[in-house]
């Protein structure tokens, strides 16, 4: 009798629960507004090769307005990982002594990105700069010895080539179209982990962190919080469409490991540098010829600027592209070809995407008025034509860059020669204590009339070399000597 009563009790409870559930579903269906669920698929990865790549001298083609949600990383990772390789840079130092020959081996490792089906690979210059043997391991374990096509220490980029065909590779995306807060993937191939993929967001753009030790450096990094550790340098930063939008280059760390800040060279700048290295062996860099400074709030108020943004011109080099166009000290550059340049790195990046002889539109403030002006870019030497790789390399190997004197400089100094516009740290020339601004008038007592003559005279010299000349702001004549092998 008690068992029967208990079963009735539990049965009644169960029936009540079922009816309550059905009533709740009925009421929810009547009260809740209809909802539309949209499932967005990721765009398929698109590939190209360098031969068919867009002209880097024009603005990159606008990419589709696509911003994937964080759960759409799979296709981007699948597109990127086969194109990211491991790079071993091996230094072999052979010496001879009483005990015979000895070889010391050192190596460093990094990552690289295949950007053409026939074996072109982009990486960081610091990954391969000390190596005399470069070994590339693909994602499928195949190994190749790579040749160095060219390097650009100013952007910390290098272009390699392996003899292979039908390789997976990535298309360049438009780094200018990135938004702060947008999701990105960092893909590397460190030596002992094979491919690694980490996700993060774009934290900032146009960052300069003073890691490149050159006067002509271009630092306008994409900052992300995607984890990038040593061994991933030179790897790919891709958007959620699987497009290459940066080359991972550096981290800020106190421990030597990732601490939340990683930096990548923007793809728009990298594409121009890489195509120059492929086509010319050296970067054809157009320059404005201005000395610049940041805008402060005090300076913005003094110049009647609408905001604290832009690049202040402190001095214009005589005979430069800026001088020819009519830019003056005191002007504030706020845009290049329609792209805002609120900071020095942003302006350097935009100008760095163009070659000598290209015309760019510079937007600037003068006397509180906004104006546009066309500027034909020149080389550091003051030319609008492309430079010869062997000549420029010879000067860089010695440790300096020079340009022809302008007509006003010749009239003022009453001399002919070439002006030293840059000296590289650790070079032969730096050890002579020569300073930028020195005007070379003679090489071993032979007169220098222009840059071509200067290069020709240096080519014919071996052993002790004496450079004589003057400074614009120091009286007297000066001489610097060094040895050429």
Alpha helix positions (H), 177-325: 267-280, 297-302, 321-325
126 part of the active site: yes
- Same domain? For 206 and 301 the reply is no
pLDDT of residue 343: 85
In a domain, 298, yes or no: yes
pLDDT-derived band of residue 40, with 50, 70 and 90 as boundaries? very low
Task: Tell me which range, 136-140, 201-205, 211-215, 381-385, is most confidently predicted by mean pLDDT.
Answer: 136-140
pLDDT-derived band of residue 352, with 50, 70 and 90 as boundaries? confident
- Same domain? For 346 and 393 the reply is no
- Same domain? For 433 and 322 the reply is no
**Into how many domains does the chain fold?**
3
How far, in whole angstroms, is CA 484 from its chain's centroid? 33
| Sign, Cα dihedral of 320, 321, 324, 326 | negative
Of 265-269, 305-309, 456-460, 481-485, the one with minimum mean pLDDT is 456-460
**Lookup: tokens for 3:** 């068992």
- Same domain? For 397 and 472 the reply is yes
Tens-place pLDDT, residues 301-350: 888 889 998 999 999 988 889 999 999 999 999 999 988 888 888 888 88
Q: Which of 405, 359, 361 is nearest to 382 (CA)?
A: 405
In a domain, 283, yes or no: no
pLDDT of residue 334: 93
pLDDT of residue 408: 78
Contacts of 150 (CB under 8 A, 6+ apart): 158, 159, 276, 277, 278, 280, 281, 282, 283
pLDDT-derived band of residue 56, with 50, 70 and 90 as boundaries? very low
**Cβ pair 22, 29 in contact under 8 A:** no
| Environment class of 72 (CB within 10 Å of its CB; exposed 0-12, middle 13-18, buried 19+) | middle
Helices and strands in the chain, H and E counts: 11, 24
- Same domain? For 369 and 393 the reply is no
From residue 98, alpha-carbon distances to 92, 102, 104, 412 in Å are: 20, 10, 16, 60
Tens-place pLDDT, residues 188-230: 888 666 778 888 889 888 776 655 554 556 667 888 888 777 7
- Same domain? For 252 and 138 the reply is yes
pLDDT of residue 167: 94
User: Residue 293 is inside which H or E element, if any?
Assistant: strand 290-294
| pLDDT, mean over the chain | 78
pLDDT of residue 211: 55
450 part of the active site: no
Instruction: For residue 45, count other CB atoms closer than 10 A to its CB.
Output: 18
pLDDT of residue 357: 85
pLDDT-derived band of residue 64, with 50, 70 and 90 as boundaries? very low
For residue 398, what are the domain limits? 389-484
In a domain, 33, yes or no: no
State mean pLDDT over 390-408: 78
Catalytic residue among 89, 111, 126, 262, which? 126
Pick the more confident residue, 301 or 283: 301
- Same domain? For 297 and 407 the reply is no
**How is residue 244 annotated by DSSP?**
E
Rg of the chain, C-alpha, whole Å: 30
Of 179-188, 344-353, 364-373, the one with minimum mean pLDDT is 344-353
Pick the more confident residue, 377 or 425: 377
pLDDT of residue 331: 93
Catalytic residue among 111, 233, 241, 262, which? 233
In a domain, 104, yes or no: yes
**Cβ pair 321, 344 in contact under 8 A:** no
pLDDT of residue 225: 85
Cα 116 to Cα 330: distance, rounded to the nearest angstrom: 45
Task: Tell me which range, 61-75, 127-141, 427-441, 449-463, is most confidently predicted by mean pLDDT.
Answer: 427-441
Cα 333 to Cα 341: distance, rounded to the nearest angstrom: 7
Domain end position, chosen among 355, 376, 397 = 376
State mean pLDDT over 168-172: 92
- Same domain? For 372 and 417 the reply is no
- Same domain? For 46 and 167 the reply is yes
Pick the more confident residue, 18 or 183: 183
In a domain, 18, yes or no: no
Tens-place pLDDT, residues 427-470: 889 899 999 899 999 999 999 988 878 888 887 677 889 999 99
State mean pLDDT over 13-40: 46
pLDDT of residue 481: 92
CATH of the domain at 367: 2.30.42.10
Pick the more confident residue, 169 or 107: 169
Domain end position, chosen among 220, 240, 275 = 275
β-sheet bridge partners, residue 135: 88, 145
- Same domain? For 200 and 83 the reply is yes
- Same domain? For 81 and 117 the reply is yes
In a domain, 312, yes or no: yes
State mean pLDDT over 403-422: 85
In a domain, 141, yes or no: yes
Q: Which of 299, 321, 320, 318 is nearest to 310 (CA)?
A: 299
Q: Which of 239, 231, 250 is nearest to 77 (CA)?
A: 239
Which of 425-434's residues contact partners 24+ apart within 8 Å by CB, and which partners? 425/213, 425/214, 426/399, 427/398, 427/399, 427/400, 428/398, 428/399, 428/482, 428/483, 429/398, 429/399, 429/400, 429/480, 429/482, 430/399, 431/482, 432/480, 432/481, 432/482, 433/480, 434/400, 434/467, 434/480
In a domain, 25, yes or no: no
Length of the chain: 485
CATH of the domain at 241: 2.40.10.120
- Same domain? For 141 and 232 the reply is yes
Model confidence at 163: pLDDT above 90: yes
Cα 237 to Cα 341: distance, rounded to the nearest angstrom: 23
Q: Strand pairing of 183-188 and 262-266?
A: unpaired
- Maximum distance among all alpha carbons in the chain? 127
SS3 88: strand
Catalytic residue among 89, 111, 154, 156, which? 156
Domain end position, chosen among 275, 302, 334 = 275
pLDDT of residue 42: 25
156 part of the active site: yes
State mean pLDDT over 369-389: 78
**Lookup: tokens for 16:** 């009540």
């Amino acid at each position: 009798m008690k068992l029967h009563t208990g079963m009735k009790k539990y049965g009644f409870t169960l029936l009540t629960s079922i009816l309550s559930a059905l009533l709740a579903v009925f009421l929810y269906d009547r009260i809740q507004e209809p909802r539309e669920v949209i499932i967005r698929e990721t765009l398929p990865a698109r590939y190209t090769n360098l031969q068919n790549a867009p002209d880097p001298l024009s603005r990159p083609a606008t990419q589709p307005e696509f911003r994937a949600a964080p759960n759409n990383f799979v296709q981007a990772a699948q597109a990127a990982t086969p194109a990211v390789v491991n790079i071993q840079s091996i230094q072999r130092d052979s010496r001879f002594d009483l005990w015979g020959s000895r070889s010391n081996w050192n190596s460093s490792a990094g990552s690289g990105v295949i950007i053409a089906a026939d074996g072109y690979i982009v990486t960081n210059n610091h990954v391969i700069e000390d190596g005399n043997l470069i070994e590339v391991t693909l994602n499928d374990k195949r190994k190749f010895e790579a040749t160095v096509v060219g390097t650009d220490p100013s952007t910390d980029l290098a272009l390699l080539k392996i003899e292979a065909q039908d390789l997976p590779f990535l298309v360049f995306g438009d780094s200018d179209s990135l938004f702060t807060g947008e999701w990105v993937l960092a893909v590397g191939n460190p030596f002992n982990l094979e491919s690694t993929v980490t996700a993060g967001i774009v934290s900032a753009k146009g960052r300069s962190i003073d890691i490149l030790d050159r006067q002509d450096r271009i630092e306008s990094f994409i900052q992300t919080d995607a984890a990038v550790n040593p061994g991933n340098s030179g790897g790919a930063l891709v958007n959620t469409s699987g497009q290459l939008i940066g080359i991972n280059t550096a981290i800020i760390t106190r421990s030597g490991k990732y601490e939340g800040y990683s930096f990548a060279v923007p793809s728009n700048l990298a594409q121009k540098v890489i195509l120059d290295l492929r086509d010319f062996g050296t970067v054809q860099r157009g320059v404005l010829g201005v000395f610049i400074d940041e805008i402060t709030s005090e300076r913005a108020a003094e110049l009647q600027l609408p905001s604290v943004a832009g690049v202040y011109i402190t001095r214009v080099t005589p005979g430069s592209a800026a001088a020819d166009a009519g830019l003056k000290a005191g002007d504030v550059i706020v845009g290049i070809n329609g792209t805002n340049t609120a900071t020095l790195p942003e302006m350097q990046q935009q100008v760095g995407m163009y070659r000598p002889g290209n015309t760019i539109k510079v937007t600037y403030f003068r006397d509180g008025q906004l104006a546009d002006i066309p500027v034909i870019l020149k080389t550091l030497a003051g030319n609008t034509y492309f430079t010869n790789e062997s000549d420029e390399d010879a000067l860089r190997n010695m440790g300096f860059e020079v340009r022809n004197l302008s007509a006003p400089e010749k009239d003022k100094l009453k001399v002919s020669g070439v002006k030293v516009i840059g000296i590289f740290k650790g070079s032969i020339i730096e050890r002579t204590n020569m300073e930028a601004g020195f005007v070379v008038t003679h090489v071993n007592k032979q007169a220098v009339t222009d840059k071509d003559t200067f290069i020709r005279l240096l080519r014919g010299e071996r052993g002790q070399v004496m450079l004589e000349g003057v400074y614009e702001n120091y009286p007297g004549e000066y001489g610097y000597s060094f040895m050429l092998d």
